[in-house]
Structures are given as C-alpha cells and as structure tokens.
Structure 1
Amino acid sequence: MPIFLRCCTLGLLLLLSFGTHLAAADPRRDFAGQYQPQRRILAESRREGDSLRIYLRFPDGSVLQRGNPLRIAVWANYDAKRPVWQGVVPQLSRRIRLVKSAAWVDFCVAARVLQLGQILSVACAPDDESDASDGVWLPITKERLGRTFLLTDSIGDPMLRRYVQPGEAFQVDSYGPELPLVAKRYDTSFTAALPPMANPAAQPQPRKLPARDSLFFRAGQLLQLRQPGLYALRVGGNTTPLGLLVTDADFPELNTADELIQPLIYLTTSAERKSLTDAPDPKRAVDQFWLKVAGGNQTVARQLIRTYYGRVAAANQLFTAHKAGWMTDRGMLYIALGAPDVVYRTAAEERWVYRDANGSSGTYTFRPKPSTFAPEHYELVRRPEHEMLWYAAVEQWRKGLTTARSGR
C-alpha cells in the first residue's frame, strides 16, 4: 500500500505554527490558474480520527524538489489579507512519491484548528509567494470534515475525480474498520446548460431523482460498475454520500458520432444537429460541418476540431459531478470562450472575466448551488446583457476564427 494511504498517527500530525508574519496579499486574488488542467494541483481529503488527511498530486513533480517548504495556511475567507494560522509540512522529502513527471504527497492537519467556512491553502513556494492562487485552495465544509472515505484506483492511489468509466476497477477506501458500502444508481437524463442570456425562469427546476437499483459491497472491496449512471456511495453510517458518475468508455474524451454532436448544441441550431444525427455517416457529417466552418481549409478545420473538443475534454475534467462537465454552466463558457483570463472568488460567488485585445472585457458571475451529488456545483447568473458577447463568440466559431492560438 502506498505510504500516503497509511493511517495517520499522532506522531505524524502536522505541527502548525500560529505566526502571522505572512506578507499582506492582494485581497482580489486571481484564481484563473485553477482552470488550467495541465498545471492544476489535484487534491483530495479524508477525515481520519481527530485529523484531516490531505492528498496532493503535483503534475510537475520537480516543484517539490526545489528546496521550498510545502506551506499550509487557513484563511477566514478568499479575500483575507492574512491567514488565521500557517505552518509547513514537516519532513517533506520523506513524503514525496514520484510517478513519472508527477509527484504525490500527503499530510495530516489537526481537525480542531479547522472551522466551517474557512479556506485551507497549500503551496510549495517561497514565503512571499505562499498565498499564490494557483496553489491548492480547499473550502472547509461539513462534507469535507465528516467524510471518512475516498475513492482510490485499483492500486490504492486517490482517484481525484468524481467519474469512472464502465468496468473501471476502483475502491472505496474507508478509514477505520471495514464497513458496509451501498451504491444507489439514479437516472442521468440531464440537459446541457442554457445560453448565458436565457431567462432564468427557463432553467430546469431541481427534481428528486428516483433510485433505479442498489448494490451492496464492503469498503475496500475492488469494485466495477458496468451500468452507466449517477451513483450515490454511502459507507456505514456516514450521513453524506459521495456522488460518482459512471460515464462512457472514452470519457473525458469524446469519440463516437453521438458524443461529438451533443456538445455542438452551443454553436448550432436543433435542425443542424438533427441533420448531423440523421446523416448516413454521422461522424463524417461532423467532419464536414467543421470543414464548412473552416471555408474548406482542412488545416483550419483540424485546428478548430482540436480546440473545440479539447475544451470539451478539459471541461469534463474540471467540472464533472452529477453530469458531464461540458453540460454545466461553467463548462459551457469554458468551451465557447476558453479558460477565463481572471477569476475572483468569495464565499457567495465566483466571477470569470474575459478580456480581448482591445481592452474591453466581459464578466460572468457564478453562484454556488451545492447538492448531494455535486457539493462544488455552481450556476451562472443569467442576464440579458450577456447576449451580445455570447453571439459574438458563437460567430467567431461559425466563421472559423477561433483557434487554440488566439484562445477566443
């Protein structure tokens, strides 16, 4: 079993220093780095007795080998200029496990020093950069403090995602004695996000999902869920289940004709999508759609396809929870407009700012709407004034002017 999955003991608890000498930071931190999949540090947590264990995966393992300490701090909110407390992870070099170019590390934090509503940050950086927003920022929620289990892959590494492919082997690793595990499957008949200027009243209303069936296992057992759908995993007496989406076989990538056509809802009319679906060879029809958009230029068409479906795959990685990431509000904007230039966060909202070469900008506001299956789900505040920006972005795609190089 990997060293970072061993049970936490009092001797390994993180020793915290409660100084407040950290340099004052800009209260308007830019969190745009959180939406760059290739450089984002992935994190997971699990309650272990009187502590919270944090698991981190650095995509660039060399970051942990540059001599900087792994700094941890807790903030009253995202705008706080100084932390409530701060410290460093002891014996960092002994905790690092390299896997190719990436690196894993884990440590424990005493639960008594964490309060609901606070934000825990982790960064491997010099002191004057230790509150950088491209590090790890974890909200301290009731669910995070109470959940005593996490998903791991077949060899025991934390999965760091809320989806598995049909038949993919995984485990529910529970801290403490073996406990029964119940997996309830629900329908996944969710719809794609509406445009950002749509009438909020037209938004689908939350509904109670009927459970289709229940499966019974034990924590630690190697599992394979072959039926696609939305599952709620509950271990023993845990009051909060963990949502897990069983996806298509190639997820987060898209390969079948149907999968490639569905995300085009953001650029096409219903008649165009029906024409693609009803074509004798739907996949070839999709290629022809992009070739037409590119004005017959095959090089541009290939570039458009790579950019669009690359963003779809990135949205799936970033935002998948109760439904595929491309179908969410944040996924919709990510696909159509690209990664945001600036992201501001508070406890009540997240704002994405897009800027163009002329200096003008557009701002989209998201508000948290957590649910059983998606504790970090956000919904867009739809406004009529978004209409001009949205149609301008769609027109850029339809004219073949959006490329990976331009970003917009």
Structure 2
Amino acid sequence: MSVRLFIRLLLLCCGLLLAPLTQAQRRDFSGQYRPSRQLLADSRREGDSLRIYLLFSDANVLRQGQPLRVMSWASYDAKRPLWADTVRHLARRIRPDGKAARLEFCLPLTQLQAGTVLSIASGPAAEASSGDAAWLLLTPARLARPFMLTDSLGQPLLRAMVRANEPFVVDRYGPDQPVSLRRYASPFVAALPPHADPTRQSAAPPRLPVLDSLFARAGAALALPEPGLYTLRLPGEPSTLGLLVTDSNYPNLTSADALIQPLIYLTTSTERAKLYAAPNPKRAVDEFWLAAAAGQQTLARQAIRTYYGRAAVANELFAAHKAGWMTDRGMLYMVLGAPDAVYRTAQEERWVYHGSDDGSSATYTFRPKPSTFAPEHYELVRHPEQERLWYAAVEQWRKATTTAPGR
C-alpha cells in the first residue's frame, strides 16, 4: 500500500480530512529532509567577515555554468530577499571531494544581521529562493563563533556531532588557543507520541550536572572516547558550541540495545523488557519483526530495512542534544515517513502529510526550542486528536505493512 493512499485512508477513518491547502505559494522545505541532501553548510567568523563553507553532494551541480547565489531573508517565509548577490570567481573556489565538491567564500559582517536567514544555491535565482537551497539561520552565536570543527585532514565536518574516538580539530581563526571541554549528564529519553500530554515528557533540569572537564588545544587533533553531551569553548569568546558524541556506528543502529530502543514507538514496555531479557536479544528483534509479518521473511526483512533505515536518516538529519531518532521530528519521521511538505516561519515548522491528490492533509506543528546544545532544536505541539491517526500508523508497523523504503 502506498504511503499516500495509507494516509488518505487514515484521514478518512479518523475524521481528519481538511480543506484543500490554499497557500500553495508557500516555500516548501521538505527537500531539507531527503536522505541525500544536495548541499550542506557551516560558517566561522573571521575578523570582520563570516566565512561560509559548503559541500555539494553532487559536484556536477557546480559544473553547469550557473552562478552560486546568496540571498538574505528577514525570515524563512519572507517573500522578497533583503539583498541578493553572486559569488565571484566560482570556478577557482571549487575543490573536488570524490563525487562531491567543496567551496568557501566570505561575506562582510556589515551585510549580515542576527535573526535573518541566508539561502545559498547554484542555479537560477528561483533555486536560491526555494526550500531546496542551503539555509543558514544567523544567530548571534553563529555570527560570533571564530572556530569550526574539521576532520584530521582539515576538511570541515559541517555537523555538530562526532563519533567516539573520531579524530577532529577545533579550527580557530587566528592564533591557536586552549579549548575547554565539558561533558554533561544527559538524562534525555525518546520523544512521546504526538497525542501525549506534554507534561508527561521528562524535562531536563535547568542546569545539567558536569561529569568531566578537560582541555585541548585549537588546531590539534583530539578524540573523545566517551559518548555523551559536550560543550566546547575558547577563553575570552562568548560563543559556546554544543557537541554530541555518539557511538562509533552512528548513524546506523547495530547493537542489540540500539535495535530495541527505537521500538519504543511501536511496542509496550513489557514487550521491550522481554526483548532485552532474551538470551539472544538480536535474534529476539528479528523474531519480533517476523511475527509482525506473520512469518513472511521477505516482508519482515523489508520492514526491518525501512524502520531502521529511517532511524539512520533521522540520526543524520535531527541529531541535537540526543540522537536524531529520539527527537520529536525524528519520531515522526520514523513512524510516518518523510513529510510531503514542510513550511517554516520564525515561530514554527509545519509538516504536512497529504492523503490524496484532492489536497486533504494532516499537519503537525513544531516550535523552536533552542539551547546551547541544540540551537536549531524543535519540539512538537501535541494534541489529543492525533491519537487515532498515530495508533493506526503504529498498527501498520506491527503488521509489517509499512514497507516503502523511500518513505
């Protein structure tokens, strides 16, 4: 059964059919949540400039003779840019990286303002205006941060997570300085379902306990052996970078515990306890999916690939102060799949799942809840009326009938 038809049937069953969308002109950011995003970006302050680092997953995008366009917007949903420009001498800046390509350029800080958003894309002006471009929210911390993370060869990581024992470098603009690192207790749990009472979500304490402190030096390779939640700070600098250190297999889930944990969205606590207590927990997970598929091995294998494949994608897309699959957006991505449309404003992000071609839809709203550890973290606005749709989707998983690998 296709996901589109499935959502349509759920909406009919749950009485959640809505009027056709009337704002088709809105910018759609759903391309940001495709597994193979075309463009990643990060930045570092360098004196009176902000240097932008880009990675194009397909180097051919830059070989089509199109300019690299940069636009500034008052917000994600602004209709017109504050300004637009193109990057000069583009061909000289491109550095091949396998099938991908990297490049970097600088923008004067006088041209930038905290709270605005940059969009960057190679192609016509419409491409840089679309939700498929790279979008960078210019927070005060981003505009002030004089360092970024690179791998041991100096290539920008373009992510705020590293794996345990993965060598990386705090690459500072200017003289190297000591780097202060702190590891914190991280009492975070998987997200609650969309219909749950938000007060049930265990809130993190206002200040997380510091478990360990250590020092390194900017410009020198270091590796952190203990997974967990860290902050990086340089002396005299106001900005702090949150860093999630994961196990060595991230974003994939391979251990027995890692395979059982995401089943929290589909199972009861009693069922999970039996999986953990099994003599061979990995085999118990396989048997869980085989039972869900009524003994059909092909269907069970497809369900496993789809569910844990989504978990790996969620880990890449939504990693914050905890693994991506544990976040609100990761939870929805795993159970319902990638959204058909995503609309953003400064106040919220809306995920839309279309039921059919007539425009009926179900919408989930996320609100930004930034922190030192996760400056672009979002939380779901939960509603009791989402319960029936959620459990209908869970039931499909428990029958191993949600198996489309791309959704």
TM over 0.5: yes
The code of the aligned residue for 1:114 comes to L
Aligned equivalent of 2:17: none
Aligned to 1:382: 382
Paired residues of 1:198 and 1:383 also in contact (CA < 8 A): yes
Q: Which residue of 2 aligns with 1:293?
A: 292
CA contact (8 A) 1:27 1:79 kept: no
- Local SS of the residue matching 2:72: strand
Identity %: 62
Segments of structure 1 that go 5 or more residues without pairing to the other structure are: 1-24
Contact 2:228–2:245 (Cα < 8 Å) also in 1: yes
**Corresponding residue number in structure 2 for 1:155:** 153
* Mapping for residues 101-112 of structure 1, pairs under 5 Å: 101-112=99-110
Residue aligned with 1:44, SS: strand
CA distance 1:304–1:129, change in 2 (3 Å)? same
Alignment of structure 1 residues 363-378 onto 2, 5 Å: 363-378=363-378
Equivalent residue, structure 2, for 1:212: 211
Supply the AA of the counterpart residue of 1:157: Q
Could you tell me how far 1:100 is from its partner in structure 2?
Answer: 1.2
Aligned counterparts, 1:156-305, within 5 A: 156-207=154-205, 208-305=207-304
For residues 246-282 of structure 1, give each alpha carbon's deviation from its aligned partner in whole angstroms, at most 9, with x where no partner exists.
Answer: 1112111010100000000000000110111101100
Distance 1:132 1:325, change over 3 A: same
Q: Which moved more, 1:256-265 or 1:233-242?
A: 233-242
Give the structure 1 partner of residue 13 of structure 2. Answer: none
State the one-letter code of the partner of 1:37.
P
Kindly state the Cα deviation for residue 357 of structure 1 after the two structures are TM-superposed: 3.6
> In structure 2, what residue type is equivalent to 1:380?
L
Q: Distance in 1 between matches of 2:406 and 2:390?
A: 17
| Matched residue type, 2:344 | R
Quick one: structure 1 residues 106 and 396, their matched pair in 2 at CA, closer, same or farther if it must change by over 3 Å? same
8 A contact 1:198–1:382 mirrored in 2: yes
Task: Report the alpha carbon displacement of residue 358 of structure 1 after superposing the two structures with TM.
Answer: 6.8
Task: Output the aligned Cα RMSD.
Answer: 1.4
The alpha-carbon deviation at position 228 of structure 1 amounts to 1.6
The residue type equivalent to 2:116 in the other structure is Q
CA contact (8 A) 2:306 2:405 kept: no
> For residue 295 of structure 1, what is the amino acid of its counterpart?
A
8 Å Cα contact 1:178-1:219 kept in structure 2: yes
- Secondary structure of 1:317's counterpart equals helix
Bigger mean CA offset, 72-81 vs 345-354: 72-81
Deviation at 1:341, TM superposition (A): 0.5
1:339 equivalenced with 2:338 (yes/no): yes
**In the alignment, residue 175 of structure 2 is paired with which amino acid?**
P
Q: Which runs of 5+ in 2 are unaligned?
A: 1-22
8 Å CA contact 1:264–1:273 kept in 2: the answer is yes
Q: 2:31 maps to what in 1? A: 33
**CA-CA distance at 1:189 after TM superposition:** 2.6
Q: 1:51 aligns with which of 27, 49, 54?
A: 49
SS in structure 1 at match of 2:271: helix
Residue in structure 1 matching 2:139, options 118, 141, 144: 141
- Scaled by the length of structure 1, the TM-score of the pair is 0.91
Query: Is 1:240–1:372's contact at 8 Å kept on the other side of the alignment?
Result: no
- Conserved? CA contact 1:362–1:389, under 8 Å: no
How many angstroms does 1:40 deviate by? 3.8
Displacement of 1:202: 1.4
TM-score (norm: length of structure 2)? 0.92
Amino acid at match of 1:57: L
The alpha-carbon deviation at position 327 of structure 1 amounts to: 0.5
- Counterpart of 1:343 in 2: which secondary structure? strand
**Residue 196 of structure 1: how far off its partner (Å):** 0.6
Deviations 1:180-215 (A, max 9, x none): 100001112310000111112212223111111111
Kept in 2: contact 1:119–1:137 (CA 8 A)? yes
The residue aligned with 2:89 is 91
* Conserved 8 A contact 2:187-2:204: no
Structure 1 equivalent of residue 10 of structure 2: none
Structure 2 CA distance, aligned partners of 1:266 and 1:186? 26
Quote how far apart the aligned CAs of 1:165 are.
Answer: 1.5
Deviation at 1:173, TM superposition (A): 0.3
Q: In the TM superposition, what is the alpha-carbon distance from 1:118 to its structure 2 partner? A: 1.0
- Of stretches 160-169 and 379-388 in structure 1, the one that deviates more from structure 2 is 160-169
**With CA pairs under 8 Å and 6+ residues apart, which has the higher RCO, 1 or 2?**
2
Which amino acid letter does the alignment assign opposite residue 367 of structure 1? R
The structure-2 alpha-carbon separation of the partners of 1:26 and 1:78, relative to structure 1 and needing over 3 Å to count, comes to farther
Distance (Å, rounded) in 2 between the aligned partners of 1:364 and 1:386: 9
Contact 2:251 2:316 in 1 (8 A): yes
2:14 is matched with which residue?
Answer: none
CA contact (8 A) 1:183 1:234 kept: yes
State how far apart, in whole Å, the 1-side matches of 2:308 and 2:406 are.
16
Question: Partners of 1:214 and 1:170 in 2: how far apart?
Answer: 18
2:114 maps to: 116
In structure 2, the partner of 1:16 is: none
State the one-letter code of the partner of 1:240: S
**Which residue number in structure 1 is paired with residue 125 of structure 2?**
127
CA distance in 2, matches of 1:188, 1:325: 14
Q: 1:287, 1:146 → 2: CA distance? A: 49
The answer as to whether partners of 2:260 and 2:272 remain within 8 angstroms in 1 is: yes
- The 8 Å contact of residues 27 and 78 in structure 1, kept in 2 or not, is answered as no
What's the secondary structure of 1:130's corresponding residue? Answer: helix
Letter in 2 for 1:384: P
Following the alignment from structure 1 to structure 2, what is the Cα–Cα distance between the partners of residues 49 and 406? Answer: 44
* Code of the aligned partner of 2:35: P
CA contact (8 A) 2:244 2:321 kept: yes
Q: Which amino acid aligns with 2:378?
A: Y
Q: Distance in 2 between matches of 1:119 and 1:102?
A: 25
